[in-house]
Structure 1
Amino acid sequence: MIKLTRRSFIKGSAALTGITLATGKGFFHQTSPAYAEDNSRETFAYTYCDMCNQTPKCGINAVIRNGKIVRVESRENYPNAPLCAKGIASLQELYDPERLLYPVKRTRPKGDPDPGWQRISWDEAYDTIVKKLNEIKEREGPEKVLFYVGDPKEPRSAVQRLAYTFGSPNYGNESSTCFRAAALASLLVFGLVTLGSDPTPKTRTCLIWSKNPAWSGPYGHWKLHEAKERGTKFIVVDPRVTPTVSGLADIHLQLRPGTDGALALGLINVIIREGMYDREFVDRWVLGFPELKAYVQEFTPERVEKITWVPKEKIETAAKLFATEKPATWIGSASPTVHSSNAIQNHRAILALVALTGNFDVEGGVTIPTEPLPFDLFAGNPAFNRETDIFPQIRDKRVDKEYFPVWAHYINEIQMNMLPEYVEKGLLKAMVMFGGNAMMWPQTTQYQQAIARMEFSVAADYYLRPWTHNFMDMVLPAAMTYERMAPLAIFGRKIYLREPVIKPLGEARSDWRIAFELGTRLGYPEEFWHGDEEAALNELLKPLNLTVDDLRKHPEGLEIPPKGPNKFRKYELGLLRQDGEPGFPTPSGKVEIASQILAQYKFNPLPVYREPLESPLSTPELAKKFPLILNTGSRVPMYTHSKLRELPWLNQFMPEPVVRINPKDAAARGIKDGDDVILASPHGEIKLKASVTNIVLPGVIDVFHGWPQANVNMLVPRNFDPISGYPPYKEGLCEVKKT
């Protein structure tokens, strides 16, 4: 068994970051009241970590003394392991003295910088929420209430069910700036969602596009190195020199952020020019190839080099490798390629590259499961979420349909990025938020003001976070992963039950329990099983003829055997369409490089490239004042988005916000490592510490998001992609100067 203690944490984290651990304030063993006397008996309980997102749910063996967790170990024989630094530090979050443990309400008017939080009972909290929501429902309609889930993502299914049962189609989540645009692009091209597949023993080439699994997915990164040892060639597209690049890349395409679509079209240009595309697949299964062939003629390697900064020789070499060394797979990220004002079309161009080379749903290529279990990424399903019975009756009342009709056509969650406009126009009057963060949006103050203008807003969270909650009326204490049950953990065809390993601290309650108790008090006790989470999980398990008790009997996980062997080229077998006919679940039944849905809504059906709205090429005069490219939102090993900065074990490795700048750009500005600098864009400025490093491309800076004292999203304009509504977090202009 791998035992993860503070000593191993120090050793592993220091090796990872090159920073030694500072002792003193925040030393967990000394300051936490969690630790019992050494002679007390130890017991063990299993759960999973939620310090990242809905994945990877790495397994935890919690060691308990006198009802308190004293250390964590990696769970043996569990799909994702070992625990990383974040998982080990989860105990600091659990026992943080600043954690919110009781419901509170504001006692001062909105606009006052101090809400005057006052502790209240759960009964008072529920009574107030129910009264406010029902008043608005009766006066103006249930659609005026917004239900929202941020991070953790675990309560999505429960809260979506709550929204639709209440009668509001206006359920949203943080994926309106993260995963859903990539999903939408995939739906437009293939009719189904894929972010690619890991290489298998048959894979000869793997294209990793703007993803750094060495940091964002360390639990599975070793599989990629095993593939490399087997002989798989790797092409990595990233503006940074990441550990994934240095450890795996045979070819590194180091592009200017925001130009992914141009690079993909340049690769396609070479493949078509050389006749290396899969003619049989294209002729039978691809719609729009002649039009794409004509369009990509202008994306020669020479022109693409000028756009992307990638040398034309590398474009030629990468294209030929991906098209000829087959089967080839692709691993994409949920967000970097779509954090652009041309989000959908950029990502569609990458998907077209996969399709044209015939690498879709072939063994060793980009595959999809033959018999997936009846759960979504968040352990719900459309029936449980009430997407099949209630949502179709109320979808016409969603607030985003006039703003982003293609998004509304495919995605049931509303596009949240127009929240200020929804509130300004009176389309939304109240908000029920689980784990939200106002800093996630560009020009954050507009969203804070929108929340403050609502008649009523309530959040559930682990902490009181001023940048979000100071604009709200009430905050409820949420239970953490060690203290809650739902949802299930699902790995392929294996299901694990999670149950609380300790009692919730204070009066914290799980998100699922809060949602179900609200639903019950709002007048829907049967629909929410009178607040019983276990009954809800039993409902989810019904399609498999299982119960929670069945899972309890299998702490090692319960494997659901498939009905038959995995099958490839399912589009030939009639396994992708609901009507059972061969083809893809798109309007044409083909891979739609020319999208009929985009044409229906008056967008260009091809994956056309559009230069960022602010760039050296589109706004050269502006680029003279702001000559650097602003790349935001990269991952680091110790933090997840804006989370975990409160924890001393993690904060010590990056205690202050930094901007990464290449040594050439730093020298030209007289900047040295550790200097105080100002990062400015046409839309604002913030103060940070300079990190001078070759990890970033000359001409590009790299900034992490989520720092309250240096909110980089204040530098990002609200120039949304017209199809998905996504903000341009990875393409704008900026300048760095020494203070």
Structure 2
Amino acid sequence: MSDVEIIKTACRNCHGSCVADVYLKNGKIIKIKPDKNSPLSRGRMCPKGLSGIELVYHPDRLKYPMKRVGKRGEGKWQRISWDEAYDIICDNINEITEKYGREAIAVGHGTGRHHMNQVIRFANTLGTPNWFEPGFAQCFFPRIAVAKMTIGEFMPCDYYSDVNPECIMVWGHNHIKSGHGGENMFLIGDAIKKGSKLIVVDPRRTELAEKADLWLQVRPGTDAALAMAVVNVIIEEELYDKEFVEKWTYGFEELKQRAKEYPPKKVSEITWVPEEQIIQAARMFRAAKPGMMEWGLALEHTCNCVQAVRAVGLIPILTGNIDVPGGWVEGMKLIDPPSKNLDRLPLEQQYKRLGFGEYNLLTALDAPNPGSHIPTILEAMKTGEPYPIKGLLLFGNNGLLSIADTKNTYEAYMANDFICCMDLFMTPTAEISDIVLPAASWLELNEIIGYPAYSANTVLVQKQIVRTHECKSDEEVFCELSKRLGLDWGADKPEDIYNQQLKVTEKRYPEYKGIDFDKMKELNYISVPIEYRKYEKSGFKTRTGKAELYCTQLGAWGYDPLPYYVEPPETVYSQPELAKEYPLTLTTGGRSIYFFCTENRQMPSLRGKHPFPLVEIHPDTAKKHGIEDGDWVYIETPRGRITQKAKVTDGIDPRVINCEYGWWYPEVKTPDHGLWESNANVLTPMSGPYDPAMGTYL
């Protein structure tokens, strides 16, 4: 194979960064294998990454820019040049901003991969405060924001030290099959094999729950109550780390009083988790040290998500599992994210951010990453209140599937005067656009990655190995649009930004003096050893310098500084009359290892293993309704009805069903590509109430 070149790059088919060996022959990728020496994935990759060849050379990839020539959503397109596409985009941006102001342009991105910070940078440079991402207030970022307020940093789990965690508590997460960090599916398995005890909190008997020493089958949406009951036991039985709590936490007495409101017996009735299991979980996690908490986005899919996340996050804090080997660890910050150019966005524009003054953790000037409130953006599109949104620029944003209440989202998107969508494939969202741009895949672009996210203990490089058709990276498009619009983007090409980022590496770590993107391409990845208990030198990066059990930032904004539980707005308890017609509790948390959000359903090797969406139904419920395993069934809520295939299993409560998220049918050749058939968000609400601090819906 002397004529075959092997190139290392980082896979970004999810938010993770598994290192891949890519085999190139005559300019074409012929094989992808995991890199045995990867500091993160350690020689493993999931099926999504291994299907990269199918992604790059898929015949249905968007290949060149196109403009709509029929009615919007009619599916009639004409190929155009990049120059013409840029001209049309710039003309529409200028026309809308002249009539309505820069704030009338909304900029949306999808999952938080290579282009996330660059999209925010482009919005700020453009002068609009209204950027958004479908999961921003209900997927991952609430955990990041809450962690920053509580312990100063988002701290990932430490799978990389010589100390194996004695116990892992997995809350609303099934990362053996799904999740934003792909390598974690392997690392948690390694830890379990080495002897880690496992506690799983989930309404479903997931693959991880099958392996658990203790499974708490929680009622969907009641996580805050359950977590506060665990906190109650930890405090009342004095299971907390007394030295750490006394020296390094703020607000213990206030938390102690609040926790008294959540005794296990009372919470058992709320959550459906037996009282003795709640007590056992608290004792088990404290007895095993170190312990780590793996928490998932299920916590963030409620209108009380901030307090749910706060409550769960207090468990490792009280037990002293912060910045210790085998616990949660603060990152080494080998690199910083690229500048978001917030200084380019005038203060008067920041005050116009939709949701500003209401949801401070999301929109305030001192929020960790100020963004706009999606329900308010959609309302502005539909009604022009509080001011009109007339233009929509989308980058990897399949919002018709990934935003709640699809009918409402569709109506709002359609109300725009101009929509531009950049993506890998012609998605249902791209189909209602005016201009469609072909995006480069993870094997077709250059990028620098600090990983884990917000920690950057490792820096990896993503390389442009091939480039198909006329595809471009999002970053290239932002550079060119900025030039044509006369904006101060701050870089002539994407690599300039990566070199700016690496200046931080050079400054913080002198051993990497002279590092730049070209050098990184030679090195492939760099890492530094993790230092522990960094708070002992300089305290926590919070307002008090301590881990805040009582959150002073929330208090300063006028929100409750202590966690609490509220009953979700649509349950058998909060709406008993509605429950007569809709007696089952629906959760839409189901994921598959073969897909990521709404992606990958075109890939033969992946779709072949999971061809249809599945709804999990308990045997008793199935029998009551005459349903057998494998039947196509209707699932209905007050918003609409979809169909998925029944998976009859005793791994779910008879009062609950779980349907899979993100389903559309690329093989359906009508312009909506089956958008309305199996899409879980046809069923979900967005009408409020919203989380007081974050604006989260559901």
Give the TM-score normalised by structure 2. Answer: 0.89
Deviation at 1:394? 4.2
* Residue in structure 1 matched with residue 241 of structure 2 by the alignment: 278
CA distance in 2, matches of 1:61, 1:590: 43
Q: From the superposition, tell whether residues 219 and 287 of structure 1 become closer, same or farther in structure 2 (CA, over 3 Å).
A: closer
Matched AA of 1:278: D
In structure 1, how many angstroms separate the alpha carbons of the residues matched to 2:195 and 2:24?
A: 45
Name which of 81, 84, 98 aligns with 1:121: 81
Distance 1:198 1:256 in 2: 30
1:540 aligns with 2:498: no
Shift of 1:346: 1.0
Aligned-residue offset at 1:188: 3.2
Paired residue for 1:436? 397
Shift of 1:646: 1.3
* Structure-1 separation of matches of 2:97 and 2:314: 45
Matching residue's letter, 1:614: E
Aligned to 2:206: 242
Question: Secondary structure at the residue paired with 2:443?
Answer: helix
Shift of 1:536: 2.7
Structure 2 partner of 1:612: 568
1:514 has 2:480 as partner: no
Moved more, 200-209 or 678-687: 200-209
Moved more, 39-48 or 632-641: 39-48
- 2:430 and 2:544 mapped to 1: Cα distance? 47
**Where in structure 2 are the equivalents of 1:333-732 lying within 5 Å?**
333=296, 335-369=297-331, 371-375=332-336, 380-381=337-338, 384-387=339-342, 390=345, 394-409=349-364, 410=367, 411-423=369-381, 424=383, 425=385, 426-438=387-399, 439-465=401-427, 467-488=428-449, 490=451, 492-502=456-466, 504-524=467-487, 527-530=489-492, 532-543=493-504, 544=506, 545-555=514-524, 557-559=525-527, 561=528, 566-568=531-533, 570-574=534-538, 582=539, 584-707=540-663, 708=675, 709-718=677-686, 719=688, 720-728=690-698
Structure 2, unaligned runs of 5 or more: 507-513, 664-674
Contact 2:115 2:474 in 1 (8 A): yes
The structure-2 alpha-carbon separation of the partners of 1:352 and 1:42, relative to structure 1 and needing over 3 Å to count, comes to closer
Asked whether the 8 Å contact 1:341–1:727 carries over to 2, the reply is yes
Q: Deviations over 1:583-626 (max 9, x none)?
A: x3333333333333333333322201001111122222322322
Are the aligned partners of 1:417 and 1:726 in contact in 2 as well (CA < 8 Å)? no
Output the CA distance in 1 between the equivalents of 2:308 and 2:596. 25
Partner SS state of residue 627, structure 2: coil
Deviation at 1:716, TM superposition (A): 1.0
Runs of 4+ in 1 over 6 A off after TM superposition: none
CA drift at 1:663: 1.4
One-letter amino acid of the structure 2 residue matched with residue 626 of structure 1? Y
The 3-state SS of whatever aligns with 1:385 is coil
Amino acid at match of 2:598: S
Contact 2:616–2:659 (8 Å) recurs in 1: yes
* SS at structure 2 position matched to 1:174: coil
The 5-angstrom pairing of residues 72-91 of structure 1 reads 72-79=32-39, 80=41, 81-91=43-53
Check 1:542–1:366 CA distance in 2 against 1; reply closer, same or farther (3 A cut): closer
Structure 2 CA distance, aligned partners of 1:194 and 1:328?
Answer: 13
Distance 1:228 1:86, change over 3 A: closer
Give 1:647 deviation, angstroms.
1.5
Q: Cα RMSD between the aligned structures?
A: 2.4
Q: Describe the SS at the equivalent of 2:647.
A: strand
C-alpha separation in 2, matches of 1:116 and 1:225: 48
Kept in 2: contact 1:146–1:430 (CA 8 A)? yes
Is the Cα contact below 8 Å between 1:516 and 1:529 reproduced in 2? yes
Query: What is the alpha-carbon distance in structure 1 between the residues aligned to residue 520 and residue 457 of structure 2?
Result: 13
Return the offset for 1:372. 1.6
Q: Distance in 1 between matches of 2:407 and 2:193?
A: 49
2:281 — aligned with what? Answer: 318
Amino acid at match of 2:407: T
- The residue type paired with residue 19 of structure 2 is G
Contact 1:629 1:700 in 2 (8 A): yes
Secondary structure (helix, strand or coil) at the match of 2:397 reads: coil
Q: For residues 98-109 of structure 1, what are the structure 2 equivalents within 5 Å?
A: 98-109=60-71
Aligned-residue offset at 1:721: 2.2
Compute the displacement of 1:152 (Å).
Answer: 6.6
| Deviation digits for residues 58-105 of structure 1 (CA, Å, limit 9, x no counterpart) | 222222333222222222322323222212222222212111101111
Deviation at 1:125, TM superposition (A): 0.6
After TM superposition, the structure 1 stretch with the greater mean CA deviation from structure 2, 57-66 or 653-662, is: 57-66
Match of 2:183, SS state, is helix
Q: Which runs of 5+ in 1 are unaligned?
A: 1-38, 575-581, 729-739
Contact 1:677 1:689 in 2 (8 A): yes
SS at match of 1:329: strand
Aligned partner letter, 1:632: T
- TM-aligned CA deviation for residue 457 of structure 1: 1.6
Structure-2 change in CA distance of 1:547 and 1:641 (3 Å): same
- Report how far residue 701 of structure 1 moved: 1.1
CA deviation after TM superposition for structure 1 residue 131, in Å: 1.5
Q: For residue 199 of structure 1, report the CA deviation from its aligned partner.
A: 8.2
In the superposition, relative to structure 1, how do residues 74 and 586 fare at CA in structure 2: closer, same or farther (>3 Å)? closer
Pick closer, same or farther for the CA change 1:116–1:251 going to 2, 3 Å. Answer: same
**3-state secondary structure, aligned to 1:529:** coil
Deviation, structure 1 residue 388 = 5.3
Partner of 1:60: 20
Q: 1:232 corresponds to which residue?
A: 196
Q: Structure 1 CA distance, aligned partners of 2:326 and 2:8?
A: 34
Tell me which residue corresponds to 1:297. 260
Counterpart amino acid of 1:412?
P
Q: Call closer, same or farther: CA 1:487–1:549 in 2, change over 3 Å.
A: closer
Residue type of the partner of 1:640?
A: F
- The answer for the alignment partner of 1:578 in structure 2 is none
* Number of the residue aligned with 2:90: 130
Match of 1:209 among 158, 163, 171: 171
Contact 2:10 2:460 in 1 (8 A): no
Structure 1 letter corresponding to 2:605: W
State the one-letter code of the partner of 2:408. Answer: Q
Kindly state the Cα deviation for residue 401 of structure 1 after the two structures are TM-superposed.
0.7
Shift of 1:180: 1.1
Q: Do the aligned partners of residues 238 and 197 (structure 1) sit closer, same or farther apart at CA in structure 2, a change above 3 Å counting? A: farther
Quote the Cα distance in structure 2 between the aligned partners of 1:326 and 1:490: 25
Contact conserved, 2:642 with 2:678, CA < 8 A, in 1? yes
C-alpha distance in 2 between matches for 1:485 and 1:693: 44
For 2:182 and 2:135, locate their aligned partners in 1 and report how far apart those are by CA, in whole Å.
Answer: 22
Amino acid at match of 1:227: A
Q: For residues 34 and 70 of structure 2, what CA distance do their matches in structure 1 show?
A: 46
- Structure 2 CA distance for partners of 1:398 and 1:207, relative to 1, 3 Å: same
1:185 corresponds, among 141, 146, 155, to 146
Aligned-partner SS, 1:397: coil
Which one-letter code corresponds to 1:224 in the other structure?
I
Structure 2 CA distance for aligned equivalents of residues 169 and 97 of structure 1:
37
For residues 170 and 308 of structure 2, the distance between their equivalents in structure 1, rounded to whole angstroms, comes to: 15
Alpha-carbon distance in structure 2 between the residues aligned to 1:420 and 1:289 = 41
1:31-46 to 2 correspondences below 5 Å = 41-46=3-8
Change (3 A) 1:627 1:407: same
In structure 2, distance between residues paired with 1:281 and 1:721? 31
Post-superposition offset of 1:326: 2.5
Q: Tell me the SS of whatever aligns to 2:590.
A: coil
Contact 1:489 1:495 in 2 (8 A): yes
CA 1:146/1:173 → structure 2, altered by over 3 Å: closer, same or farther?
Answer: same
CA distance 1:612–1:527, shift in 2 (3 Å): closer
